[in-house]
Amino acid sequence: MSNSQFATFLSFTCRAIFRYIISVKKLLFLIPYSLFLFAANAAEYRAAIVADMDTGQVLFQHRAEDLNYPASLTKLMTLYLTFDALESGRLTLSDQLIVSRTAAAAPPVKLNLAAGSKISVEDAIKAVAVHSANDVARALAENLRGGREATFASMMTDVARQIGLSQTNFENASGLPDEDHLSSARDIALLAIAIHQHFPQYWKYFGIRSWTFGGRTYTNGNRLLGTYPGANGMKTGFTNSARFCLVATASRDGRNIVAVVLGSPNRDVRATVTRRLLDVGFGLENPDSVRASAASPAPAPAPAANRPATQNSKLKTQSSAAGRTGVQFGAFGSRRAADDQAAKVRRHTGLSPTIEQAGSLFRVRAHGLSESAANDACRRFREQRLDCFTFR
């Protein structure tokens, strides 16, 4: 082959290789684009609910009572019990939690804490709220309940019943996969509302966008923080069975809205759907557009024998009958705090509430009211900047 022939051959070969590279790049671009188109037209969630956090009024729901795996949304109950321990004086924010071998061995996501190491209660709260650390959730469970996560999980389920979660069963403190570890969008919304009403002093932890520990910075997976006007919490979750889940809260013009979405196919869809759900809550979007993107039917996650009993929840979707409505004016870690609250109820509403002990909590409640009387009492109580909610 002459030099000119070789040059021609080399030029042709290079052009062919270049065309092949370009075609591969186009193909690589088209693959994710086609996947995006598929995802955009696929079902965007399994279950969802939007509610007013102050009144309990349901503003939108779709398959909200279906049983689903809650994934790391479970950690909201772990933190609820942590806050209760802080309020009752059983813990302080500066207390040091000991990390056991069992906690250190928890699967990711985690902080990779070594067995025998310690972490403060406040850092533990941040690790769970921001990074969703499974090892820290287990450490909280073990330190709060005598070294056994299973015992703590039983307490989680008991307290869930006490605050109105009728479809929830917990098997661990983190939401790691278990076929009997179940909840519903409605119950998760109720849990978010309970934290908001019972422990407002700790609400700030759910709005932390990033947190630094051990020289490493962790970013909150809730993409609505800092991008959705008024967003101030709350928690993400994911397992292969649960798919991508999110509880998000936002406040605008004196209104506090919570949205729950379960079973989205990826993080982007999860965030987009939740924004739209919050828009529905604030009256900015038509509920039908969100309902049309739901998956149907939702998967049946557990054998019927293991499912928790279903009953009416405290989220209000219809009017209560006269004389069958109650008001809860708070749940407290000590009898003294409950007595003080009961005195405020009598002073500001004229009602004579009862104090009901439910596990480690003391609930201040008034029963047997008409719906209008209950709403009026709660309104007068809120005028004093005090929390309450009605239930049936």
Query: Which residues are known catalytic residues?
Result: 72, 75, 132
Whether the CA torsion 201, 202, 203, 207 is positive or negative: it is: positive
DSSP 8-state assignment for residue 273: H
CA distance 73 to 83: 16
8 A C-beta contact, residue 392 and residue 374: no
Ramachandran sector of residue 331 (left: φ over 0; alpha: ψ -120 to 50; beta: rest)? beta
Task: For CA atoms 153, 159, 161, 165, give the dihedral sign.
Answer: negative
Query: What torsion do the CA atoms of 67, 73, 77, 83 make, to the nearest 10 degrees?
Result: -160
Do 268 and 48 form a contact (C-beta atoms < 8 A)? no
Q: Closest Cα to residue 136, out of 112, 160, 156, 153? A: 112
Cα separation of 368 and 384, whole Å? 23
- Count CA atoms closer than 13 A to 98's CA, side-chain side: 8
- In one-letter notation, the amino acid at residue 322 is A
302: phi then psi, degrees, rounded to nearest 5: -155, 155
The Cα angle at residue 320 between residues 316 and 325, in degrees rounded to 5: 95
Chain Cα centroid distance, residue 136: 17
- Please name which of 261, 319, 257 lies closest in space to residue 291, comparing C-alpha atoms: 261
> Residue 363's beta-bridge partner residues?
331, 356
Cβ-proximal residues to 202 (8 Å cutoff; 6+ apart), any chain: 79, 83, 86, 125, 195
Long-range pairs for 61-64 at CB < 8 Å and ≥24 separation? 61/185, 61/186, 61/317, 62/290, 62/291, 62/294, 63/185, 63/294, 63/296, 63/298, 64/184, 64/185, 64/186, 64/189, 64/260
